[in-house]
Amino acid sequence: MYGSKSATAKRTVPDLRAAKGREKIAMVTAYDYTMARIVDAAGVDMILVGDSLGMVVQGRANTLGVTLEEIAYHTRCVLRGVERAHVVGDMPFLSYQVSSQDAVQHAGRLIQEGAESVKLEGGIEFAETVYRITRAGIPVVGHVGLLPQSVHAMGGFKVQGRGDDAARVIRDAKALEQAGAFAVVIEGVPPDVAREITKELSIPTIGIGAGPHCDGQVLVSNDLLGLSLGNSPKFVKRYAELGENAASAVAAYVDEVRKGTFPGREHTYRSNESREDRSPGRESTNLPIDAPLELDYWH
């Protein structure tokens, strides 16, 4: 399946809205061309170019240092590998909190880079911002519950919506729908709260650490593939252990290099190679020593 072309139609905002109550939405993060190609071919509905790249790509302790330029760069990389999935560009810290005018401009930048919608964190306090962005013709995915960009204000990555706080999270989600968001991510809340929000909203809810009752789920690709180091959050299911496999592969390579067993004969060009052995596009191997080489990917 890896690298195969998807024959299914492109996922659009109307498609995703219409999925509520009919089919679950599968969403994952991707930050580069290779991962985008893999997850798109696997059939995901939405790809989030998330500010989580600050942690899983840049090695930061949180997402706060990620810039708009970095999201724009990774969005461009992802888009080159996508045919079917709907691509969401994450609005990083301080790209929308200062003013609605800035928010519209920065959201527009991500759309110009090729994103098909944007995501921003926060509830009722950002409803006007969401309204202004959507009025500019830019689709918005909201985000309530645990807000990674508010990690310091929340005292860490802590579950939200417990007890009396549930009403606040529900109110936030409703405000985002009324402001024009076409979907809402619900992060780090008890399942009963996520179920209530999903029931109350006419737009899809996408859960992460919010239980099974949402209209869809999202995970960080590095987490679900077993590429993340250290302990995973409770809500993460590791569907593979590619980190261990990759480490073993590199260790085998290092061992063969040091022993001199790689490269072997099968990985080496011969000076008297036949026409079948030549690199594509080469008419002859009898080139002058100072002749310019066509440095394509030799096979």
Report the distance separating Cα 56 and Cα 150, nearest Å: 18
Report the distance separating Cα 31 and Cα 82, nearest Å: 12
Radius of gyration over every alpha carbon of the chain, rounded to an integer in angstroms: 23
Report the distance separating Cα 238 and Cα 299, nearest Å: 35
Q: Which of 121, 177, 187, 196 is catalytic?
A: 187
Report the distance separating Cα 14 and Cα 4, nearest Å: 26
- Whether 187 is catalytic: yes
Of 249, 262, 258, 218, whose CA–CA distance to 236 is shortest? 218
Report the distance separating Cα 70 and Cα 295, nearest Å: 30
DSSP count for the chain of H helices, then E strands: 10, 8
State which H helix or E strand residue 143 sits in.
strand 140-145
Cis upstream peptide for 263 (omega within 30°): yes
Q: At what angle do helices 100-112 and 127-135 cross, to 10 degrees?
A: 50
Report the distance separating Cα 146 and Cα 251, nearest Å: 39
Report the DSSP pairing between strands 183-187 and 46-49.
unpaired
Q: Which two tokens stand for residue 68?
A: 């708009």
Q: Which residues belong to the active site? A: 187
